[in-house]
A and B are shown apart, each in its own frame.
Chain A
Amino acid sequence: MSVTDTDVLLDVQQLQASFLTAGGCVNAIDGVTFTVRRGETLGLVGESGSGKTITCLSLLRLLPKASAAITGGRILFEGEDLLQKSDAEMRAVRGGKISMILQDSLTSLNPAFTVGAQVAEAISLHQGIRGAKLREQVVHALRRVRIPDPETHLDDYPHALSGGMRQRVAGAIALACNPSLLIADEPTTALDVTVQAQYLQLLKDVQRESAMSMLFVTHDLGVVARMCDRVAVMYAGRIVESAPTREIFAHPRHPYTRALLDCLPAVDGPVHELTSIEGQPPDLAHLPAGCRFAPRCPLAVEACRAYPPETLVTPQHRVSCWRASELTRTPSMVTVDSVGASQ
């Protein structure tokens, strides 16, 4: 299923990563496959524990060495397999070609260094400039993320800034060297709602200016609707459905996606009751043999004991569900208890 378009920036194929836990060796992500084109934003959606963050860290090969490792697959970035690169080569990629914004800027910025110093480090690391020229670049980077009067903030420490400002600084660090791919791991979850909107707009604008691709990890479907061109839904370490955003909101084909959408209260009609997905995410050490969502799925059937292969609903829309073709009704009409549970 690999696409050799020159348009494709990132091509992840059957990525597999394992963790050592108290219960033994566990596949945190198993056969994850997706692509990101130049200039597009792919959303990665799922509950906590679905493997979103691990996927991101795997792309940068930053899994904790003592307890985790990538055990399979390929990560083709600009045509080259990142898993074949040496440590030195990866270091050049990190921050320079692929960079990342973490969720909580209060903990992701080093409290012992000034904001200016941290941005400067990112720049000088990949561009090798120093002195007055570096300072100029730092101010420019801060201005780019719309921090007012950047010169005055160069000597500020992270704790002195507001959450929104800090996350902008994190953005400045990530964008400092004009990466081709920006991974954003729930960058707005820790922000106030009003600040969220501004931040997202900022990211969108920067992306447009520089034709940057984004991998946007979030559990918030509203953010997805706003930011992402395409969406991939993850569950228990696998991607269960991926499609352009419009398509997935209008015609979700996987029961899990559908359930996620159902959790959003409808804006246009009366809200009878809030739905939630029954059950718990599976214990990765004790996964069911077949479809991993089956235990919680209201549509599960005998066939679900075997893992469903990926089928193409349309060339852009992939889903892994035996009953994908049956789920044609629109989301707001499908509730958890209106579909007969057949187990």
Chain B
Amino acid sequence: MSRFIVGRALQSLLSLFVVSLVVFYAARLTGDPTVLMLSEMATKEEAAQLRAHLGLDKPITTQYALFLKQAAQGDLGESTRYHRPVTDVLTARFPASLQLGSVAIVISILIALPIGVYSAVHRGTALDVAGRLFAVLGQSLPLFWLGLILILIFAVWFGWLPAAGRGGPANFILPAVTMGWATTPAIMRLTRSSMLEVLESEYVKLARIKGLPEWKVVWKHALKNALLPVVTFSVLLFAEMIAGAIVTETVFAWPGVGQLLISSVNTRDFPMVQATVLLLASLFVLGNFGVDVLYAWLNPKIRYAR
């Protein structure tokens, strides 16, 4: 298994590297931040001075090398918008995203898994059909629109829940449901199809032959095997989750890293954009890596490979 892990780790690093390169160059292409930072009456010399100060006058490869060097030392630069070290802003914002993300994932799994299992076990019944339609509908909804509709219904029309902003438990509900929605339909469908396959297997038959009650056959014997493809699939879901975070935080004005990204892009805050993308990409890569390790551990064939 260690060989497997090392291989995946290397691949992760490569991805991270590529992302940082892309972002670095792309951010530079978005335009000259000095334009936004200086007033219109600034002279060319002042602009040049500022550029030199920000290190923008050096060739781009030098800039990148410098960036890497500084990053390795934990210095990700200073935000041109907030005038504080980027790391400060990020550490202030990160917990908000983390909290929302965790709640969203939990809600997502809690909803999707049982429905998927139930759908598979009671295949062909009205509830199964409803569940599947629900899932397809879910995959056809734009996340940002779902969030807005939820706000419309629950905050504007009924007034039960707050429309935006971070706060107490009530503030979590709508954003978490919205963000969870990025992954719920996919998990639901995958669990269902995976379970359907597993339920046809010989070992499930044997479990029944042993005399096990049906619930144990389904939830112990079948599910453990059915979850394997779902876990692997989670790799793709991480991208959805990050997208979901960005969109949800924007819609609900949740002060997290996702919203920070959008606003930084809009204000041409290079260091911030770089750092934020790197952070999110690292999370993504780390998440995938974690899923790969989890999969290896769950699958006895890899865990105990000789």
Chain A contact residues, CB within 8 Å of chain B: 60, 62, 66, 91-96, 99-100, 102, 104, 107-113, 121-122, 125-126, 157, 159-160, 170, 173
Query: Contact at A102–B202, with CB atoms within 8 Å?
Result: yes
Report the stretch among B6-14, B204-212, B260-268 that lies at the interface.
Answer: B204-212
Q: Give every chain A residue within 8 A of B207 (Cβ-Cβ).
A: 110
Q: Which residues of chain B are within 8 angstroms of A94 by Cβ–Cβ distance?
A: 208-211
Q: Nearest residue in A to B227 (C-beta to C-beta)?
A: A112
With contacts A111-B300, A160-B304 taken as known, whether A60 is within 8 angstroms of B203 at the C-beta atoms is no
B99 interfacial by beta-carbon distance below 8 Å = no
Are the C-beta atoms of A108 and B300 separated by less than 8 Å? no
Q: Which of A112, A126, A159, A160 contacts B211 (CB 8 A)?
A: A126
CB of B234 closer than 8 Å to a CB of A? no
The answer to whether B213 touches A111 (Cβ under 8 A) is no
Tell me whether A112 and B300 are in contact in the complex, defined as CB-CB below 8 angstroms, given that A66-B124, A95-B210 are known contacts: yes
Is the Cβ of A95 less than 8 Å from the Cβ of B304? no
- Is the C-beta of B225 less than 8 angstroms from some C-beta in chain A? yes
Q: How far is the CA of A201 from the CA of B304 in the complex (A)?
A: 33
Chain B residue at minimum C-beta to C-beta distance from A104: B202
Give the residues in chain A near B221, CB-CB below 8 Å.
110, 113
A-contact bits for B188-201, CB 8 A (1 contact / 0 none): 00000000000001
Assembly CA distance A96 to B212 (angstroms): 11
Which single residue of chain A is at the shortest CB-CB distance from B222? A110
Structural contact, A108 and B203, CB atoms closer than 8 A: yes
Interface bits B84-108 vs A (CB < 8 Å: 1, else 0) = 0000000000000000000000000
Tell me how far the C-beta of B175 lies from the nearest C-beta in chain A, rounded to whole angstroms: 36
- Where the two chains meet, the residues of B that have a C-beta atom closer than 8 Å to any C-beta of A are 123-124, 201-203, 205-213, 221, 224-225, 228, 298, 300-301, 304
Chain A's nearest CB lies how many Å from the CB of B197? 12
3 A-B pairs with least C-beta separation: A95-B211, A94-B211, A107-B202
A3 to B203, CA, bound (A): 36
Nearest CB of B to A113, in Å? 8
On whether the beta carbons of A91 and B211 are closer than 8 Å, the reply is: yes
Which residues of the partner chain B approach A96 to less than 8 Å between Cβ atoms?
A: 211
Q: Quick check: A107 and B203 within 8 Å, CB to CB? A: yes
Select from chain B the residue with minimum beta-carbon distance to A126: B211
Most chain B C-beta atoms within 10 Å of own C-beta, residue among A92, A94, A104: A94
Instruction: Kindly list 20 other residue pairs between chains A and B, CB separation below 8 angstroms, not including A62-B208, A111-B300, A157-B304.
Output: A60-B209, A62-B205, A66-B123, A91-B211, A94-B210, A94-B211, A99-B209, A99-B210, A104-B202, A107-B202, A107-B203, A110-B206, A111-B225, A112-B300, A113-B224, A121-B210, A121-B212, A122-B210, A126-B211, A159-B301
A and B contact pairs by CB, cutoff 8 A, 17 listed: A66-B123, A66-B124, A92-B211, A95-B212, A102-B202, A104-B202, A107-B201, A108-B203, A108-B206, A110-B207, A111-B203, A112-B224, A112-B300, A157-B300, A157-B304, A159-B300, A170-B206
The interface residues of chain B, by DSSP majority, are classed as helix
Residues of B with C-beta under 8 A to A126: 211
- Of all chain A residues, the one with the shortest Cβ separation from B201 is A107
Q: Give the dominant DSSP class at A's interface.
A: mixed
Q: Which residues of A contact B225 (CB under 8 A)?
A: 110-112
Q: How far is the CB of B124 from chain A (nearest CB, A)?
A: 7
CA distance A222 to B300 in the complex (A): 38
Q: In the complex, which residues of chain B have a beta carbon less than 8 angstroms from the beta carbon of A122?
A: 210
Known: A157-B300, A157-B304. A108 touches B205 (CB 8 A): yes
The answer to whether A109 and B210 touch (CB under 8 A), given A157-B300, A159-B300, is: no
Residue of A nearest to B225 (CB): A112
Chain B residue numbers with a CB within 8 Å of A113 are: 221, 224
Beta-carbon nearest neighbor of B214 in chain A: A87
In the bound complex, CA of A169 to CA of B221 (Å) = 17
Contacts of A92 in B (CB 8 A): 211
Closest residue of chain A to B122 (Cβ to Cβ) is A66
Cα A53 to Cα B188 with chains together (Å): 34
Query: Which residues of the other chain, A, contact B209 by a CB distance below 8 angstroms?
Result: 60, 62, 94-95, 99-100, 102
Chain A proximity of B118: nearest CB distance (Å): 15
Q: Which residue of B lies closest to A103 (CB)?
A: B202
- The residue in chain A whose Cβ has the minimal distance to the Cβ of B203 is A110
- For A100, the chain B residues whose CB sits under 8 A away are 206, 209
Q: How far is the CA of A294 from the CA of B203 in the complex (A)?
A: 38
Task: Kindly provide the distance from the CB of A301 to the nearest chain B CB, expressed in whole angstroms.
Answer: 42
Per the bound structure, the CA–CA distance linking A111 and B205 in Å amounts to 14
Closest B residue by C-beta to A159: B301
Whether B211 and A125, one on each chain, are in contact in the complex, defined by CB atoms closer than 8 angstroms, is yes
Query: CA–CA, A109 to B210, complex, Å?
Result: 12
* Whole-angstrom distance between the Cβ of A170 and the nearest chain B Cβ: 8
Inter-chain CA distance A93–B209, complex, in Å, is: 9
Whole-angstrom distance from the CB of B300 to the nearest CB of chain A?
A: 4
Write the chain B residue with the least CB distance to A122: B210
Distance of B137 from chain A, by nearest CB (Å): 26
Kindly identify which residue among B124, B205, B211, B300 contacts A102, using a CB–CB cutoff of 8 Å: B205
Cα–Cα distance between A150 and B225 once the two chains are bound (Å): 25
